Structure formats: structure tokens, C-alpha cells
């Protein structure tokens, strides 16, 4: 048996609730900040959100146009591939369904692209049907830059690396194109309930 550090439990403080915590995860009460790079600081006047790729017309929204769209408040559990899960997180955002309203496409995949160069890919199906948002507020306050503000993609039913921080748009594609972590071996879809952490899972 591998060495066990007597008395060590780690930071895990949350209580696991049956059926709420996917396999291999533990409950975290803090909100860890994980980032692959420096926090971008795009002024709202310069911020745009673009839907491009396999579409008739690329669509670009300014911040004001984005915020004028109908938005929702949602409470969801989130699951990070580094094994922490945070239950009942509350966000405010525009549903991706709303953003895609009027967008004609035959695309089956999407890549979210972000300030700082981060990308993540996922099936378009995992962005629609009321399962994904572009979120601009967390816990009742404007989204902190450290957590992805002014706006991040929010796809709570997949591992949280898919909820791309500092998102600036979606590129719709007819093929799957691995993003920043997927290109290194992380899963193209990332369903925590199927423990799809790595390619081939």
C-alpha cells in the first residue's frame, strides 16, 4: 500500500451529496482560480462577441447589444477536471440558444475563442437546448476578471475547462477541432458523469 500521510485530509470541506457529485470528484466550498495565463483586461467599449464559421453571415455583438438580450439567472453545480466540484453556483447570463437565434448553420461542432488565446471545442449540441450560457455575473455581482469577467462561457454539464473564461465568440464548424487542452489529450466532450477527462475515455 502506498504511503499515507498520517492525519492528512486536504482542503476538502464540503459535504458530498448523493447524486450530486460525479465519480472521482470532491466538493469544494471555495472557488479556486485556475488559469493558463495572465488575466486579460478588455475594456467594455472594445468587447465584442462574434459567431462565425459555418454561418451565412458572421454575427457580432457589442457589449451593450449583448446585455440588451434576454438573460437568465441559473443555479448549477460545476465540476473541474482537477477533481473539485462546487455545488449550487449562481450565474446570470445569456443563453447560447438566444445568441444563436436566427443563425442558420449545419455545423455540428464549435470552438469557443477567448482573449488571451485560449480555445476549447465541444459538440454544438452541448451548447444548445438550454444547457449553456455566456455568463456576465456570478453570485449576484459582475463576473470578476479572475473568474473570466467581463463574460465567460458557462457549460455546467461538462468539465469546467469547457466554460471558457474571457470568451469572445464561437466558431461553428462541420468538424471537431481540438482546443487548447484537447490538443494535449483532454477529452473533446468532457462529460463528468461519464468521467470523460482524457481523449479515449
Residues at the site binding another protein, with contacts judged by CB under 8 A = 2-12, 26, 30, 33-39, 80-82, 117, 146, 161, 180-181, 183-186, 198
How does DSSP assign 122-185, residue by residue?
A: EEGGGGSSS--EEEEEETTEEPPGGGTTT-EEE-TTS-GGGS-TTEEEEEEESS----TTGGGT
Q: Shortest gap between Cβ of 101 and another protein (angstroms)?
A: 33
Q: Shortest gap between Cβ of 38 and another protein (angstroms)?
A: 7
Characterize 70-102 residue by residue with b for buried, 16 or more Cβ atoms within 10 angstroms of its Cβ, and e for exposed: ebeebebbbbbbeebbbbebebbbbbbeebbee
Of the pair 66, 197, the CB lying nearest another protein is at 197
Of the pair 100, 164, the CB lying nearest another protein is at 164
Q: Shortest gap between Cβ of 100 and another protein (angstroms)?
A: 28
Q: Shortest gap between Cβ of 183 and another protein (angstroms)?
A: 8
Residue 153 CA to residue 149 CA, distance in Å, equals: 10
Of the pair 51, 152, the CB lying nearest another protein is at 152
Q: Shortest gap between Cβ of 52 and another protein (angstroms)?
A: 23
Q: CB count, 10 Å around CB of 149?
A: 21
Q: CB count, 10 Å around CB of 188?
A: 17
Amino acid at each position: 500500500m502506498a504511503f499515507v500521510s498520517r492525519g492528512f485530509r486536504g482542503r476538502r470541506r464540503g459535504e458530498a451529496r448523493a447524486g450530486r457529485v460525479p465519480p472521482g470528484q470532491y466538493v469544494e466550498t471555495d472557488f479556486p482560480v485556475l488559469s493558463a495565463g495572465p488575466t486579460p483586461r478588455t475594456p467594455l467599449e472594445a468587447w465584442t462577441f462574434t459567431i462565425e464559421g459555418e454561418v451565412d453571415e458572421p454575427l457580432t455583438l457589442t457589449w451593450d447589444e449583448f446585455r440588451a438580450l434576454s438573460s437568465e439567472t441559473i443555479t448549477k453545480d460545476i465540476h473541474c477536471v482537477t477533481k473539485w466540484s462546487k455545488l449550487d453556483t449562481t450565474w446570470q447570463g445569456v443563453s447560447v440558444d438566444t445568441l444563436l437565434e436566427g443563425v442558420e448553420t449545419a455545423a455540428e461542432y464549435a470552438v469557443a475563442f477567448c482573449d488571451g488565446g485560449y480555445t476549447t471545442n465541444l459538440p454544438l449540441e452541448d451548447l444548445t437546448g438550454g444547457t449553456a450560457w455566456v455568463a456576465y455575473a456570478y453570485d449576484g455581482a459582475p463576473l470578476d476578471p479572475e473568474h473570466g469577467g467581463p463574460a465567460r462561457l458557462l457549460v455546467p454539464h461538462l468539465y469546467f475547462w469547457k466554460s471558457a473564461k474571457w470568451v469572445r465568440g464561437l466558431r461553428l464548424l462541420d468538424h471537431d477541432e481540438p482546443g487548447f487542452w484537447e490538443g494535449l489529450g483532454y477529452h473533446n466532450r468532457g462529460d463528468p458523469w461519464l468521467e470523460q477527462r482524457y481523449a479515449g475515455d
